[in-house]
Structure 1
Amino acid sequence: MFTYDMIASFNELETSLYNYISQNSEKVVYMRIRELADEAHVSTATILRFCRKIDCEGFSEFKVKLKMHLEKNKKTTLKESQHSVMEFFERTFKGDIDENIQKAASLVDQAGSVIFIGIGSSGILAEYGARYFSSLGKFSMYIKDPHFPIHSKLDNSVTIALSVSGENNFTVTHLNQLKHEGSRIISITNNKYATIAKISEINIPYYVTEEWFENANITTQVPVVYILESLAREIYKLNSYEGDKL
């Protein structure tokens, strides 16, 4: 409800009012303007000025918007973690995920370098994936900085993109740059119809129900860990087989 620009525009009294409202939202929606002025130790003029700065014509409109905001962000009942994990594995056994993992492993095995890319929780897993692959003999690096410069030729590389939605602008932009520099793209997304999946050479979708809590995506990442570890182990097997042939 309160944007960065709005908060930055508040003067000292308005900031004090903002702090009071943030800590007492449930109570404020039922207050009269004079009651709020007394409780927050500001004038009614300050409250009206505050309302205009957050795009409300008056105190009544502000209370309506505040109430709607509170309703939207009410705590939801979260699914048990076992539910999400079982949902993934039930679909996995019925689908072609193993075939996709084998195709991806073959592509990575032939590459000279591996780059993981993601942001947010996917960025954390990109770092984990790079470490796990490196631990099993396939040296890898990761990118989770939106401003990371990419200006090198990457003709013998594979990029593994991680994204729940498959629509993250940062990841899409970087993938376009990486493709332009010659890197081949594998993506792990929650569905195969997302933008990131479509621009990938190989996509490994995992299909679990997305969950949100107070504007944060809390969709389970267990499927991604499973796919990353399975992929790394498959690459290790390929390397061992090739070593035995020599």
Structure 2
Amino acid sequence: MDILEEIQKQFVSFSLKEKNIATYLLQKGNEIKNINITELAKITETSTSTITRFCKKINCENFVDMKIKISSIYQEESKSQGLNIFDNVYSFYDKVIKNTIKSMDREKIEEVVSLIKSAQRIFVYGVGSSGLTAIEITQRLLRMGLNVTSITDSHMMLINSSVATKKDLVIGISTSGHTKEVVNALRMSKKNHGTIVSITSLSNSAITQVSDISLTVYNSSFVDDQRFVNSQFAIVYLMDVISMMLLADEKLNYKMNRTIEVILKEKD
């Protein structure tokens, strides 16, 4: 695990000021080689003492040690500066994918695939952009003949979670890991003995605390939050992986193909 991965892993536990430092380093760490600790404190609206404590938290001896470790990571990435907009977008997605692969736990993903295949009912919770992803996941699983419902309204989430049973699989999606509506609904589902799976970009966040299994992807805002890009991209990548693993099952693959045939005939 390199220093940037360590920062992402600990992000939830940082204070507000420390999160300012962490966000800057994750987004613009390539600039740190040109600034000193006083300049970083000014940029992040913190203090040199806060930065020093932050360095200790991420297992660096001091600011200089942190600066060297981060600069070494960004040496290769600095070559991408000056690229045109097409290459820049590609570079963005490439970084998100590579970091998501690093954070993926294959055994956990395989366990989730097994749970999806064996669940009597599947409910997928998400609001906002995560709600759109929940709908997409639901459409894919429906085409495989699975009993799945997406719920994107916070009121309906609570109603649904109150009737979840031990035979149900409940999947909650929250990039931040702290979406109140989703976390509360998952907590209620767990009280009713439903099996809880979460998909998030921050480990040790609120949503992971109420989950039986948590799948973690890379947070695209750690690359850059100034560009208009899909914040759900890493989750969609994970969704593609899970879909392909499910389609390795002959029965699910057959049902998917039958669904496609029916849709094509309807269009004719």
Task: Indicate the TM-score class for this superposition, using the shorter chain for normalisation.
Answer: 0.5 to 0.7
1:193 maps to what in 2?
A: 204
Determine if the alignment matches structure 1 residue 208 to structure 2 residue 216.
no
Alpha-carbon deviation of 1:153? 4.1
SS of 1:188's partner is: strand
CA contact 1:187–1:200 (8 Å) conserved in 2: yes
Determine if the alignment matches structure 1 residue 220 to structure 2 residue 231.
yes
Alpha-carbon deviation of 1:140? 0.9
CA contact 1:192–1:198 (8 Å) conserved in 2: no
SS of 1:200's partner is: coil
1:116 maps to what in 2?
A: 124
Counterpart AA for 1:237: A
Alpha-carbon deviation of 1:163? 0.7
Please give the residue correspondences for 1:156-167 in structure 2 after superposition, counting only pairs within 5 Å.
156-167=167-178
Alpha-carbon deviation of 1:138? 1.9
Determine if the alignment matches structure 1 residue 181 to structure 2 residue 192.
yes
CA contact 1:84–1:208 (8 Å) conserved in 2: no
Match of 1:147 among 149, 155, 171: 155
Percent identity of paired positions between Structure 1 and Structure 2: 21
CA-based RMSD: 2.7
Counterpart AA for 2:182: T
CA distance in 1, matches of 2:226, 2:237: 24
Alpha-carbon deviation of 1:137? 2.4
1:57 maps to what in 2?
A: none
Structure 2 unmatched ranges of 5 or more: 1-84, 255-268
Alpha-carbon deviation of 1:124? 0.9
Match of 2:181 among 158, 162, 170: 170
Alpha-carbon deviation of 1:191? 1.9
Distance 1:212 1:143, change over 3 A: same
- Deviation string 1:179-200 (CA, Å, 9 cap, x unpaired) is 1222111111012121102221
Please give the residue correspondences for 1:9-48 in structure 2 after superposition, counting only pairs within 5 Å.
none
2:137 maps to what in 1?
A: 129
Alpha-carbon deviation of 1:212? 4.3
Please give the residue correspondences for 1:36-75 in structure 2 after superposition, counting only pairs within 5 Å.
none
CA contact 2:220–2:234 (8 Å) conserved in 1: no
CA contact 1:212–1:219 (8 Å) conserved in 2: no
Structure having the higher Rg: 1
SS of 1:159's partner is: strand
CA distance in 1, matches of 2:145, 2:244: 10
Aligned structure 1 segments of 4 or more residues deviating by more than 6 angstroms: none
CA distance in 2, matches of 1:81, 1:220: 13
- The alignment covers a number of residue pairs equal to 163
1:89 maps to what in 2?
A: 97
2:41 maps to what in 1?
A: none
Alpha-carbon deviation of 1:80? 3.9
